[in-house]
Amino acid sequence: MILAPLRGVTVRSFRKVFSGPLAEYGFTEAFTPFIAANSGVDPLKDRELKPAVDDVSSGRLLVTPQFIGKDPAALKFCLQRIKAHGYKTADLNCGCPYPMVRNKFRGSGLLKTRDVLMRMIETGCDVMGAGAFSIKTRLGVERTDELLGLMQEINRFPLRFLTVHARTARQMYDGECDMQAFSLVASQSAIPLVFNGDAAIEGGRVRFPQEGIGDVQLADVMIGRAFVRELSKRNDIGDLLERYILESIAEFGSDRAVLGRMKELLAYWAVFPAWARTWRIVKMARSVEELRMIIAHRISPSD
Ligand SMILES: Cc1cc2nc3c(=O)[nH]c(=O)nc-3n(C[C@H](O)[C@H](O)[C@H](O)COP(=O)(O)O)c2cc1C
């Protein structure tokens, strides 16, 4: 399984602190949240990749840097930098659904500019090499058949795989995944496919949404939010949270940024009755010390 990139959540420190649970659940790879591929900006200075050395040499979890952008020259520069630093794989974000991103023809907006998309893919495959570059996308922007219409051209490239979040960009994260539309893409894809969207982990097995994927052959499954939610149920979550706080303090220095990051994570757990009340108090915490007290109170031995 591949850990989905969740900006602000599955960040570098998260991947480090939760590397044990990630391995336990069977994750072998993680995408970084997207890094902007802008000309002249060194990706190795990005918080996600700096210092890159422990990603490259950790050997436990393959870390695939993900880029967002629409300038092939800028992408080339970024990929050359990370490759020279030892990264073996990279991904292009063709799925970000936010209107301010997609209206500028980045993220899912790339599906609307066929030529640019193909040049970005070509650049990625050229620089990283055959079987080392991938794209992560949605079924379409407005309709579920837009990716399908691009498959013939996408099939021409030696992509590592194609990750499809089985929703349209317009859906954002609402409504259901369209499993039929996903199957149609699969039927037209010559590229290994990775399913993404609302997949859950139950009793050590992956559960796909709705009717499942039928007889579609997958290269892998990418899971994000379900893994983050699962963490809340662990007996050792108190210790893990404390380590995450310490790691984040070392990274940011400032209380506010650490608090913001922790709240972003804990918000995922508010769906569980055991955390719902704690979350209402956590939301009001004004310092890391307050947050620690709330968590310690919640995770008492008598709990
Ligand atoms: C808070 C948040 C941040 C995200 N950041 C990224 C990102 O940086 N790059 C990306 O390709 N997808 C991003 N996504 C989409 C997820 O990677 C994934 O496609 C989506 O959550 C569906 O998978 P899931 O149901 O397993 O979580 C983000 C989603 C959320 C909710």
Quote the CA–CA distance of 22 and 31 in Å, as a whole number.
13
Atom of ligand 1 nearest to the CA of 264: 1
Quote the CA–CA distance of 185 and 189 in Å, as a whole number.
6
Distance 8 CA to ligand 1 centre (A): 10
Q: Where are the domains of the chain?
A: 2-231, 237-298
Matching residue, tokens 């259901």: 176
Distance 243 CA to ligand 1 centre (A): 24
**Residue with CA at minimum distance from ligand 1 atom 11:** 93
Tell me the mean pLDDT in the region 143-169: 98
- 49-64 core/surface letters (b: 16 or more CB in 10 A; e: else): beebeebbeeeebbbb
Distance 302 CA to ligand 1 centre (A): 36
Distance 301 CA to ligand 1 centre (A): 34
In the structure, which protein residues have their CB atom closer than 6 angstroms to any atom of ligand 1? 4-9, 33-34, 66, 93, 95, 136, 165, 173, 196-199, 223-226
Please report the pLDDT score of residue 302 as a whole number.
41
Q: Encode pLDDT of 113-135 as tens digits.
A: 999 999 999 999 999 999 999 99
Please report the pLDDT score of residue 252 as a whole number.
92
Lowest model confidence (mean pLDDT) among 42-56, 89-103, 178-192: 42-56
**Residue with CA at minimum distance from ligand 1 atom 6:** 6
Q: Which runs of consecutive H residues, i.e. helices, occur in the chain?
A: 12-17, 19-25, 53-58, 72-84, 99-102, 114-128, 151-154, 179-188, 225-231, 237-252, 255-266, 273-282, 288-298
**Residue with CA at minimum distance from ligand 1 atom 4:** 6
Please report the pLDDT score of residue 301 as a whole number.
39
Quote the CA–CA distance of 59 and 55 in Å, as a whole number.
8
Q: Encode pLDDT of 187-223 as tens digits.
A: 999 999 999 999 999 988 999 999 899 999 999 999 9
The SS3 assignment for 160 reads coil
Distance 224 CA to ligand 1 centre (A): 7
**Residue with CA at minimum distance from ligand 1 atom 21:** 224
Torsion of CA 16, 195, 219, 129, to 10 degrees: -70
Q: Does domain 2-231 have CATH number 3.40.50.410?
A: no
Please report the pLDDT score of residue 299 as a whole number.
62
**Residue with CA at minimum distance from ligand 1 atom 10:** 5
Q: Encode pLDDT of 29-88 as tens digits.
A: 999 999 999 988 999 999 898 765 566 555 578 999 999 999 999 999 999 999 999 999
**Residue with CA at minimum distance from ligand 1 atom 29:** 6
**Residue with CA at minimum distance from ligand 1 atom 14:** 6
**Residue with CA at minimum distance from ligand 1 atom 31:** 6
Atom of ligand 1 nearest to the CA of 167: 22
pLDDT beyond 50 at 300 = no
Percentage of the chain exceeding pLDDT 70: 95
Contacts of 236 (CB under 8 A, 6+ apart): none
Residue closest to 223 by CA, chosen among 193, 192, 191, 201? 201
Mutate to test the pocket of ligand 1, among 165, 182, 208, 223 (most ligand atoms within 8 A of CB): 165
| Amino acid (one-letter) located at 12 | R
Quote the CA–CA distance of 82 and 25 in Å, as a whole number.
28
Tell me the mean pLDDT in the region 169-180: 97
Whether a cis peptide bond, with omega within 30° of 0, leads into 209 is: no
Q: Encode pLDDT of 282-295 as tens digits.
A: 999 999 999 999 99
